[in-house]
């Protein structure tokens, strides 16, 4: 067995029991009494700021009141009516930047109502019931293709199926779920929740999932447009940006998303290798997820190097603090210039940066960090545009996800506008579904 001190990239740095503990629920579910106490704190605000802050507009005061009056199932319906992936969002939403930031108790005392955990409480209870809580409308005879089985695609498909449409979801991966399944830190989606949630969602009926099918390989947008009455693209961002540094091709340098994916799919965490000295390049959620999980796997030293200052970091303050609390070092204003090593990475050379108002520039001063593993987490890119017009580096959409092609909608990370969050993707998928429904049924 290895230890955190073992040099190189190796597996089993920590005992199985410690790994299990490290990768357990980040926030344990509420016990019923805890939920009651937490729910009692909600003021049932008028035109509540938390609702406004929620990209899916969940009626939060109502669902919390439903919990406090002993009907968590009704609470869950309130949530799912707006956000069918309310279970996952309860786990992964940056609530500290959304509903809980807007909570008046955050303003009043710096301690918001724990909306995320209450949402999980309610959704867990309803999802544990045998029957899917929604019924399909009579079949319309309309067929819709959804490309991408991530949050946007799933939300879109469910809403369409509910309205009686026949939906086929295509996904390039071997499993449905998208980033919920492959791209989120394991401690946020324990006990195979992402897969269970997909199964539960498909319980609505009327949705066929075809995995292992990639747009541009076997299916094309043109072909889908011919075969289906409407197409929704929720393909996400499949590509990863390169560092552009010397030595980027050395062994031990890889994309953070691949590491996270591998970790999520691992049946035995002790078999998963990780470096002794890990450096993660980037400043977003992916960087934090990769860094924290490296640490939890037993890496001795983990550093996040971000080229700008803390205030510019897209990972929330909460996520930064989480990383720091797990022992991850946060290094700001440092950008990679070279990766050194004979075949495999041994050190990474970073240059300090400063912004005097004319843009970020290297100062010329460099520092070398020991590194036997380097994760790149500097953003993802669209890999398939299907010939649609782009806005910036994403598929251009207007209104409820309408693309430049009639009959083709898009939503989630691949589409322009919105934050790249699960909850935003759900909202976009849902809204596109309603627009597709209205269009197909001739009421638009």
Read off φ and ψ for residue 177, nearest 5 degrees: 125, -25
> What x-and-dash track marks residues 379-418 binding other proteins by CB under 8 A?
----------------------------------------
Going by C-alpha positions, the residue among 243, 422, 430 that lies closest to residue 349 is 243
Report the C-alpha gap between 306 and 256 in whole angstroms. 14
Task: Tell the smallest beta-carbon distance from residue 49 to other proteins (Å).
Answer: 7
Which of residues 114 and 181 has its CB atom nearest to other proteins in the complex?
114
Q: Which listed residue (104, 213, 266, 344) binds other proteins by CB under 8 A?
A: 104
Distance, in Å, from the CA atom of 42 to the CA atom of 114, rounded to the nearest integer, reads 9
Segment interacting with other proteins, rule: CB under 8 A, options 35-43, 139-147, 342-350, 360-368? 35-43
User: Can you list the pairs that 56-62 forms with residues at least 24 positions away whose Cβ atoms lie under 8 Å?
Assistant: 56/82, 56/83, 56/86, 56/89, 56/423, 56/426, 56/427, 56/430, 57/82, 57/427, 58/82, 58/83, 58/86, 58/99, 58/119, 60/99, 60/115, 60/119
Applying CB under 8 A, the span of 36-44, 241-249, 262-270, 374-382 interacting with other proteins comes to 36-44
Task: Tell me if 76 contacts other proteins by CB under 8 A.
Answer: no
In the complex, minimum distance from the CB of residue 82 to other proteins, in angstroms, rounded to a whole number: 21
43 binds other proteins (CB under 8 A): yes
Instruction: Provide the sign of the torsion angle of the four alpha carbons 281, 284, 289, 292, taken in this order.
Output: positive
H runs (alpha helix) in 269-308: 285-297
Site for other proteins in 252-311 (CB under 8 A): none
Q: What's the order of all strands across the beta sheet hosting 277-281?
A: 253-255, 373-376, 277-281, 301-305, 329-331
- Contact call for residues 339 and 250 (beta carbons, < 8 A): yes
Q: How far is the CB of 110 from other proteins (least distance, A)?
A: 11
Per CB under 8 A, which region of 10-18, 40-48, 190-198, 261-269 contacts other proteins? 40-48
- The region of 1-9, 100-108, 277-285, 343-351 touching other proteins under the rule CB under 8 A is 100-108
Task: Please state the closest distance from residue 421 (CB atom) to other proteins, in A.
Answer: 24
In 128-229, DSSP assigns E strands to: 143-147, 166-171, 207-211, 214-215, 218-219
* Smallest distance from other proteins to CB 298, Å: 41
Say whether residue 44 binds other proteins (CB under 8 A). Answer: yes
Binding footprint of other proteins, residue count (CB under 8 A): 15
> What is d(CA 431, CA 63) in angstroms, rounded to the nearest whole number?
21
CA dihedral defined by 285, 286, 291, 296, rounded to 10 degrees? 90
Residues 131-190 that bind other proteins (CB under 8 A): none
Q: How far apart are CA 134 and CA 121, in angstroms?
A: 19
Q: How far is the CB of 34 from other proteins (least distance, A)?
A: 11
**Of 9, 11, 36, 360, the one binding other proteins by CB under 8 A:** 36
Among 1, 16, 107, 367, interactor with other proteins by CB under 8 A: 107
Burial of 31 (0-12, 13-18, 19+ CB in 10 A): exposed
Residue selected from 16, 28, 31, 37 as contacting other proteins according to rule CB under 8 A: 37
Note whether 232 and 156 are within 8 A (CB): yes
| Interface segment toward other proteins; rule CB under 8 A; list 34-42, 150-158, 212-220, 312-320 | 34-42
**Residue 65 contacts other proteins per CB under 8 A:** no
Asked if residue 48 binds other proteins (CB under 8 A), the reply is yes
Alpha-carbon gap, residue 171 to 58, rounded angstroms: 28
The yes or no reply on residue 47 touching other proteins (CB under 8 A) is: yes
Question: Under the rule (CB under 8 A), what is the footprint of other proteins?
Answer: 36-37, 40-41, 43-49, 104-105, 107-108
């Amino acid at each position: 067995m290895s230890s955190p001190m073992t040099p190189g990239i190796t597996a089993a740095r920590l005992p199985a029991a410690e790994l299990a503990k490290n990768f357990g629920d980040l926030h344990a579910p509420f016990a019923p009494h805890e939920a009651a106490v937490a729910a009692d704190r909600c003021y049932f605000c008028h035109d509540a700021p938390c609702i406004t802050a929620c990209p899916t507009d969940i009626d939060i005061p109502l669902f919390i009141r439903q919990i406090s009056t002993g009907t968590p199932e009704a609470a869950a319906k309130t949530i799912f009516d707006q956000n069918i992936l309310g279970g996952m969002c309860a786990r992964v939403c940056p609530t500290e930047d959304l509903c809980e930031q807007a909570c008046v108790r955050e303003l009043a005392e710096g301690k918001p109502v724990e909306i995320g955990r209450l949402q999980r409480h309610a959704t867990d209870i309803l999802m544990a019931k045998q029957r899917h809580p929604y019924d399909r409308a009579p079949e319309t005879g309309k067929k819709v293709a959804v490309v991408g089985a991530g949050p946007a695609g799933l939300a879109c498909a469910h809403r369409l199926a509910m309205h009686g449409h026949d939906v086929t979801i295509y996904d390039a991966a071997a499993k449905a779920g998208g980033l919920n399944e492959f791209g989120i830190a394991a401690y946020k989606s324990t006990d195979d929740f992402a897969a269970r949630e997909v199964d539960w969602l498909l319980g609505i009926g009327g949705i066929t999932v075809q995995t292992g099918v990639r747009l541009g390989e076997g299916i094309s947008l043109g072909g889908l447009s011919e075969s289906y009455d409407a197409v929704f693209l929720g393909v996400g961002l499949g590509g990863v940006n390169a560092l552009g540094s010397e030595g980027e091709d050395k062994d031990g340098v890889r994309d953070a998303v691949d590491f996270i994916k591998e970790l999520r799919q691992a049946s035995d965490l002790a078999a998963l290798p990780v470096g002794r000295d890990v450096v993660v390049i980037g400043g977003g959620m992916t960087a934090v997820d990769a860094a924290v999980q490296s640490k939890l796997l037993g890496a001795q030293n983990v550093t996040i190097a971000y080229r700008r200052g803390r205030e510019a970091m897209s990972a929330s303050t909460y996520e930064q603090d989480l990383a720091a609390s797990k022992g991850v070092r946060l290094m700001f204003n440092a950008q990679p210039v070279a990766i050194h090593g004979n075949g495999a990475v041994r050190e990474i050379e970073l240059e300090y940066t400063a912004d005097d108002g004319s843009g970020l520039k290297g100062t010329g001063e460099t520092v070398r960090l020991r590194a036997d593993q380097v994760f790149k987490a500097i953003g993802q890119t669209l890999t398939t545009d299907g010939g649609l017009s782009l806005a910036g580096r994403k598929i251009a959409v207007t209104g409820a996800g309408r693309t430049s092609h009639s009959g083709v909608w898009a939503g989630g990370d691949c589409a322009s506008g919105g934050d790249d969050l699960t909850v935003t993707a759900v909202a976009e998928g849902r809204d596109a579904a309603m627009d597709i429904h209205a269009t197909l049924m001739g009421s638009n």
